[in-house]
Amino acid sequence: MKTYLLKLQSLGVGVGLTLGAVMVLSMFAWTTASADVAVTKHNLGSTGLVTVPIGNTYDGTTEVCVFCHTPHGADSSTAVPLWNKNLAALGGYTTYDSLGTSSLDGAIAPVGSVSIACLSCHDGTQAMDAVLNAPGSGAVVATYTAGNWTGGNQTAGQLTGIANLGQDLTDDHPIGIQYGGGGLTDGAPTGTTNDLDFVAPATDLINGTQVWWVDTAGGTTDFREKEDMQLYTRLDADTGLTGGPQPFVECASCHDPHSEVQPMFLRISNDGSAVCLACHIK
């Protein structure tokens, strides 16, 4: 809410808003986000064929959000809100550090945080309709089987081709890696990273958690926006490291799963390698 109010202030909205007004504005923002995902390839329901001609669709439901989120009975082992899918065992992935490259100076944590949620479809191990709660049922199910899949890069709802990253992640950008080789924690949230070839991120305390982001939205660094490169706060207990909560790079650092304004769900255009150069000083 703090971030949202700061956003409102930047748009010239006074801070004397009533709670009801804030709720209405919040609902408007949520509705806009919902409309965005409905016209992307992440709309896997039957309406996806209409809005996204080149995408995978399931004719068993018109719902859009159900393939990822559920209002009740979600998997609480992931940091992603109300996640509606089973997650793979964290130790089942091979990560970039196994290559032994000398240029890798950030510690890599076990796959988790928001990345494990993305991989619940994109590692290709289970069908996209393998959800905890079927559409409208409120019941726990193994696989929702009321329809059929159509579209490319899938077989019976299981991703194939470029969308299937697999569980060997050594040929993909590192995820679950300390941003900038470490050096920033909730006790020392500002300043430079250990690796000076990285842009110093912006930071703020939101809902009691120190968060970081790389400003790419073109606005003020006083608040985090969807077009900024998001860094994800992970805890010692989650990463096996010490030093306290600190920023990590995850799948959703560069990709916004709810908006396909840019190709490949990137947060900003990659013209001139802008996505890479947002974080890397080269």
Q: Which sequence spans correspond to the domains of the chain?
A: 1-38, 176-282
Q: Most confidently modeled of 141-155, 211-225, 231-245?
A: 231-245
Q: What is the DSSP letter of 163?
A: G
Q: Which long-range contacts (CB under 8 A, 24 or more apart) does 179-184 make?
A: 179/106, 179/212, 179/231, 179/246, 179/247, 179/248, 179/249, 179/279, 180/106, 180/279, 181/105, 181/106, 182/106, 182/107, 182/243, 182/246, 184/212, 184/246, 184/247
Average pLDDT score, the chain: 84
pLDDT band at 18 (very low <50, low <70, confident <90, very high): very low
Residue 209 to residue 148: CA distance in whole angstroms: 42
Residue, of 135 and 30, whose pLDDT is higher: 135
Percentage of the chain beyond pLDDT 90 is 61
Residues linked to residue 178 through DSSP beta bridges, in sequence order: 248
Task: Tell whether the model's pLDDT for residue 195 goes beyond 60.
Answer: yes
Task: Tell whether the model's pLDDT for residue 67 goes beyond 90.
Answer: yes
Q: What pLDDT, on a 0 to 100 scale, did the predictor assign at position 134?
A: 85
pLDDT band at 268 (very low <50, low <70, confident <90, very high): very high
Give the pair of three-digit tokens for residue 41: 């390839």
